[in-house]
Structure 1
């Protein structure tokens, strides 16, 4: 007589970790909105310091073993921290100058930019599907900005949208460099975030010299931003990529703009409208189309 196995099915660690990271990333615009009372560069410093602390446990026992190939020290300790600063700092500055939902969605076009950069440097050309996907994704952002443009209010938010776009470009370049660097960056993340935080603090002294009191609620939101979206989320995503099906895990990231828009609407930060989910859907479709030829 055959005995039926009572073994439990293993939990899908990879997809669950990926979903957790996506939820944390989607919470970033809401946390930023809660911390708008803090000047952007000071908020960037708080978030990056918290991110450095969140990544610190991962580096314990690994930094001594990780060896940087010759010629990559300047990239790991110079270029990448500046890209992290550009991504986080520009995002926070942009969302402080423009509507949160619209600015966040512009930044979330970065996966398409990443595909464009990767294909250009790999093949020296851009294929039809990649260009088509990019057009669809940026068309979604244009749809979201159309009401402002038609009412003449776009010029007042243009600087914020520009910073949001710069943040997306920095994330795309950061992701491409992470892919090309011959060593995993996980052991170096605390140092990378710390360097970026020091530069942000120095810039804040020069560009934000006025003395202002920092509310505890804003500091808490900034710390949560660093610990969650810029700390634990990166850890969870690393676990997801290493323990789950790449295609399934990668597709989870497309849900970030939709989930972020949902959080903002539920919290009352963004007004419910058909343009917001439609634009987020176009960004997702564009990302999927662009990746089909990579």
Structure 2
């Protein structure tokens, strides 16, 4: 698999994450941690099916428990911190802070062996972040001192996912099959957290169950496998910058589904995200 192919595969995760908001809306009134448990259980199940039909389960026994602990901490930690941040702070501000993770990936990727961080990478990531900020915060920003704990958790959220992605790059020899175990352990921890913190509420209709299944198969399933391949074998700076397309694509999907209204801000944000990705691509090609 070439570096370019791996980058494209990694970006497919961003495309799948663009469906996250739409499918999540359809799962109401299922609480977040319960939804997490259901979706990651599905994501882990499809991973086990894939492992069974390819390398076999023996490959899972060869992976260190420390790797499984790392992967589970990344997946469960990110989602738990994100849900908690949105409960303690205004969603727009918390989401924007959490969405610092692509920028952190780009900036700290220069510390990885064999990677070179250039000014165009940083400039591209900053321009794309500004474009994403227009979308996430289009309803306005109103900082509040009482929301500081939520902001702190959102920052930890960004650090968690960027660290997970960068360390996954260092673990390039670990087969992607390990993600199946990450998902199943994350489902178990989410289930325990749900029992402790939430009231159980099941989907209210067949459409709600369909949305749960769609989440588990796509944005909270297949996406983590393709992202793993991308960050391990692809252009990680390009992937980090291109990840800012997720909120743009998500908004477009919501508009197409009639769940959100179009606006001039969307056009400007699209131009900024595209410009940022172009600058990052120039930085990669100049190497």
Shorter-chain TM-score bucket reads: 0.7 to 0.9
Shift of 1:126: 7.0
Partner of residue 32 from structure 1, selected from 6, 19, 24? 24
Partner of residue 252 from structure 2, selected from 252, 262, 268? 262
Where does residue 169 of structure 2 map in the other structure?
Answer: 179
> The residue matched to 1:186 in structure 2 has which SS?
coil
Is the aligned partner of 1:201 residue 2:195? no
Between Structure 1 and Structure 2, how many residues are aligned?
273
Structure 1 alignment gaps of length 5 or more: 1-12
Q: TM-score, normalised by structure 2?
A: 0.72
Structure 2 alignment gaps of length 5 or more: none
Distance in 2 (CA, whole Å) between partners of 1:262 and 1:160 is 27
Query: In the superposition, relative to structure 1, how do residues 199 and 284 fare at CA in structure 2: closer, same or farther (>3 Å)?
Result: farther
Distance in 1 (CA, whole Å) between partners of 2:100 and 2:211 is 24
Structure of greater Rg: 1
Where does residue 143 of structure 1 map in the other structure?
Answer: 134
Where does residue 42 of structure 1 map in the other structure?
Answer: 34
> The residue matched to 2:177 in structure 1 has which SS?
helix
Kept after mapping to 1: 8 A contact 2:76/2:186: yes
Query: In the superposition, relative to structure 1, how do residues 157 and 110 fare at CA in structure 2: closer, same or farther (>3 Å)?
Result: same
Alignment of 1:34-73 (within 5 A): 34-60=26-52, 61-65=55-59, 68=62, 72-73=64-65
Distance in 2 (CA, whole Å) between partners of 1:103 and 1:280 is 21
Distance in 2 (CA, whole Å) between partners of 1:196 and 1:14 is 25
Distance in 1 (CA, whole Å) between partners of 2:91 and 2:26 is 11
Distance in 1 (CA, whole Å) between partners of 2:114 and 2:30 is 44
Kept after mapping to 1: 8 A contact 2:28/2:203: no
Where does residue 208 of structure 2 map in the other structure?
Answer: 218
Query: In the superposition, relative to structure 1, how do residues 165 and 177 fare at CA in structure 2: closer, same or farther (>3 Å)?
Result: same
Is the aligned partner of 1:85 residue 2:68? no
Kept after mapping to 2: 8 A contact 1:63/1:188: no
